[in-house]
Amino acid sequence: MPLISILVGGILSAWGVAAYMISGNASATALIPTIMGTPIAVMGSAADRFPSRTKLFMHIAVVFGLLCALGGLRLPMVLLDADSSGILIISHALLLVLGGVYTYACVQSFRWARANGLIDSE
């Protein structure tokens, strides 16, 4: 999961910067995917670098993944708004899909690790 975290966080971060540039630096909210993706990537990198603290870092990362998914839940409202730009739609779709799939994968990974005795039930 640490490498997946780095990948997901990197995609979100890159898109946020790209959306900000494409929008002509018009809106700081275009950076929200970057703001959410950077901690995911950093925690994934820390988990990879410090295996003894993987559990802590991955739990922090999944919180940001869940926040991404929750932020992306606004997608239907964005789609119904006639004034919504393509950048806004893509940003919300990425937050919803990547955040949701990432959170699900993390939960499944935690469940698998616990079932196989790789982590204790503290």
Burial of 29 (0-12, 13-18, 19+ CB in 10 A): middle
Q: For residue 83, what are the contacts with CB-CB under 8 A and spacing of at least 6?
A: none
Is residue 122 in some structural domain? no
Q: For residue 20, what are the contacts with CB-CB under 8 A and spacing of at least 6?
A: 27, 28, 30, 31, 34
First to last CA, the chain: 20
Is residue 41 in some structural domain? yes
* Domain encompassing residue 56: 2-115
pLDDT lower than 50: segments of the chain: none
Is residue 77 in some structural domain? yes
pLDDT of residue 120: 67
What's the chain's length in residues? 122
Tally the domains of the chain.
1
Is residue 19 in some structural domain? yes
**0.85 surpassed by pTM:** yes
- pLDDT tens track for 23-46: 887 778 889 999 999 999 999 999
